[in-house]
Structure 1
Amino acid sequence: MKKFIHIDMDCFFAAVEMQKRPELKNVPMAIGGSKLRRGVIATCNYPARAFGVHSAMATANALRVCPQLVLVPGSMKEYSRISAQIMSILRTFTDQVEVVSVDEAFLDVTDCSLHNGSATLIAQDIRAEIFKQTGLTASAGVAPVRFIAKIASDENKPNGQCVVTPDQLDGFVLNLPLKKIPGVGKVTQEKLANMGLHTCADIREKNLNFMIDKFGKFGLSIWHKSHGIDNRGLSFNRERKSIGVEHTLAEDITTYEQCCDCLDNLLLRLNERMESKSQQTICTLGVKLKFNDFKSTSVEQKANQLSTGLFKQLLLQAFYRKAERSIRLVGIFVNLPSGELNKQLELNLKLDLFT
């Protein structure tokens, strides 16, 4: 039986800022851009969350629900430095570490001999060591199944730990709300709810073919997870799939020419980012537009080099989808070649709509 630990830092960016400025600890604060610049919230502390502020929320909306919110610009350089320190701490416990993001990681401690192999005690030790070296708190989930460990790490936040033993696994999964399953977003959750499906117990009453018919490949994933099945191990070579840049406009724009005016600066920034990552080989170019109703569209096409002309063609394709809406964000990106990606690429344009 596997033993997974999911470590998740508590409101990481905000915690770093509160450590520097203790006076912010008990007041609503968030890392985010200016309301005047159409910024968004990166993360916020728990007092701010009590007002309904959350990550990816428009700064203007956050200030509307919490007028006393203190905005801090943040420092990615500092967050990256502290993140590297935390990941280094994790690797002193085991080399089986998958870094998921700047503030979370999975550990496979199945063969770890520390604390006589007790994943519970190892997780407690990890959290104590992180606090000792950084002064920051982390929460942990411990489980024999990877995705359950991730869900468990959120159960007793902040600065908490949740352990799901093999004997407890089936009962834990049975009553699990489907919205907690990784990948089940708002749209899928609403579709499931409309079918009377709210928990994993509800899914277990449906056969596999029903779920595949209604949700395709993702239906298979939901069905498996609702039965506590997840055979994935850890991935130690997370491959970058794309590089992109985007610009949220100070004021909405409405014409194709205005979109094209954004390209020069975006291309310069994209070139700089690719050079910083020593990335020269690409397989597709793409553009992204976000409209005033916050829906986005992207268009991409196979290509092996940056091309202003092709970006403009793709931009025109995306622009035709705006209908009566105005545009609040313009972005460009490149997809990078990989074994799987090359198999999936097609010569025709592909349009993805996100709600």
Structure 2
Amino acid sequence: MEQTENNIARKIIHIDMDAFYASVEQRDHPEYRGKAIAVGGSPEGRGVVATASYEARKYGIRSAMSSRRALQLYPQLIFVRPRFDAYKEVSRRIREIFARYTDLIEPLSLDEAYLDVTEDKLNIGSAIEIARQIKMAIREELQLTASAGISVNKFVAKIASDLNKPDGFTFIGPSAIEAFMEQLPVEKFHGVGKVTADKMKRMGLFTGGDLKKLSEQELKQYFGKVGTFYYQIVRGIDHRAVQPHRETKSLGAEDTFPHDLTVVEDMHAELEKIARTVYARLERYSLKGRTITLKIKYSDFKQITRNQSFPYPVGDLDTILHTAKQLLAATGPEDKQIRLLGITLSNFGEAGPVSDKPVNPQLSLFDFEG
């Protein structure tokens, strides 16, 4: 059981809005209600789905998917351009509701946050009751639904909020955490990507219970430093405090490939997938960055990064992908064996719609050995 410095069990709530952008659009536009809609870019170009309504998700449409692919899955899909000002205003009002109960609020994006209600302003004393009241206030005041996860630490609360979406409400108490983590599929662990999950399954590790059979040293041997994290989290141990002033310093995505890439065209294809994921996350968090960084890891595990800075914040898919390809080209990728590629944006500027400005900045290249 998580303990605070005063030996009191923490009470942590994770609130996650349900299909946030799409739900705001359906609330504000009655003609979209009950319809499959996707908030994001047009399928005519390189558009990406930022958020899909639950009606659209029935057809396999999801965030970070190309808009063109989404349209193929459901030709009647309605595309809606993002209205970031509207989403930011709704987010502000949601945080006002949170602030009625606690000042320990850690926003993760416009649509989700951790709350530490170990000591709450209204002396309610029950995290379960506080979560109920927050969900009710969001429904009554904003005509939207949120899912809540309640537990004694951030990791378990976040998983709990995702279990019964939409309009979910899940409490996982101290005595239930270890049993819950043991039955959880490995792909549900935050921080376990597809490649790692596939590796675990090849090793016969399908659930948290399977991971728990390995010692910390064995997990580190198989998965590196993150093995310690797996060792702790499968036992429900997460000492991270809610950080009220947490700022996003960077945002990105990367992928480790089943086989080393040796052909530039294959590298470009993988970069496009990664760039789409990064773009969708930028839209979700309403962010733009002035610096784009490409990460490359070779078959011998040598790692380098290259970055390019801009005089103004950017975040459109074309710029991200074009820049990543330029940075890759500058490394001389021909006949190299690449096992991992990643793209990150940092040095964030003011939030808002992604830039459509043409770009022709100077390259700024730096090497870092890892």
RMSD, aligned CA:
3.4
Distance change in 2, residues 1:10/1:63 (3 Å): same
**Residue 160 of structure 2 aligns with which residue?**
152
Distance change in 2, residues 1:102/1:14 (3 Å): same
- Structure 1 residue 111, shift from structure 2 partner: 1.4
Query: Is 1:321 equivalent to 2:327 in the alignment?
Result: no
**Residue 267 of structure 1 aligns with which residue?**
none
1:275-354 matches, cutoff 5 A? 286-288=292-294, 299-300=305-306, 315=327, 317-318=329-330, 320-321=332-333, 349-350=367-368
Q: Secondary structure at the match of 2:181?
A: helix
Counterpart of 1:349, as a letter, is D
Greater relative contact order (Cα < 8 A, sep 6+): 2
**Residue 352 of structure 2 aligns with which residue?**
none
> After superposition, what is the alpha-carbon deviation per residue over 1:100-135, rounded to whole angstroms, capped at 9, x for unaligned?
111000001111264641111110001111122211
Gaps in structure 2 of 5+ consecutive residues: 1-8, 253-263, 266-286, 297-302, 313-322, 337-342, 349-364
**1:238 equivalent among 243, 246, 262:** 246
TM score, norm. by length of structure 1: 0.73
> After superposition, what is the alpha-carbon deviation per residue over 1:260-318, rounded to whole angstroms, capped at 9, x for unaligned?
xxxxxxxxxxxxxxxxx9x9xx9xx655599xxxxxx9942699x99xxxx99973654
Contact persistence 1:41–1:56 (CA under 8 A): yes
**Residue 33 of structure 1 aligns with which residue?**
41
> After superposition, what is the alpha-carbon deviation per residue over 1:195-249, rounded to whole angstroms, capped at 9, x for unaligned?
11111100111111111011111111111111111111111222342499xxxxx
CA distance in structure 1 between the partners assigned to 2:115 and 2:66 by the alignment: 34
Contact persistence 2:15–2:147 (CA under 8 A): yes
Q: Secondary structure at the match of 2:190?
A: coil
**2:141 equivalent among 118, 127, 133:** 133
Structure with the largest fraction of helix: 1
CA distance in structure 2 between the partners assigned to 1:168 and 1:136 by the alignment: 30
Distance change in 2, residues 1:122/1:333 (3 Å): closer
Query: Is 1:6 equivalent to 2:14 in the alignment?
Result: yes
Distance change in 2, residues 1:43/1:322 (3 Å): farther
Q: Secondary structure at the match of 1:127?
A: helix
CA distance in structure 2 between the partners assigned to 1:206 and 1:132 by the alignment: 48
Gaps in structure 1 of 5+ consecutive residues: 245-253, 256-276, 291-296, 325-330, 337-346
Q: Secondary structure at the match of 2:332?
A: helix
Q: Secondary structure at the match of 1:86?
A: helix
**Residue 75 of structure 1 aligns with which residue?**
83
TM score, norm. by length of structure 2: 0.70
Counterpart of 1:321, as a letter, is P
Out of 111-120 and 59-68, give the one that drifted further: 111-120
Q: Secondary structure at the match of 2:15?
A: strand
What's the % identity of the aligned pairs? 38
Distance change in 2, residues 1:240/1:151 (3 Å): closer
Contact persistence 1:301–1:350 (CA under 8 A): no
Q: How many residues align?
A: 290
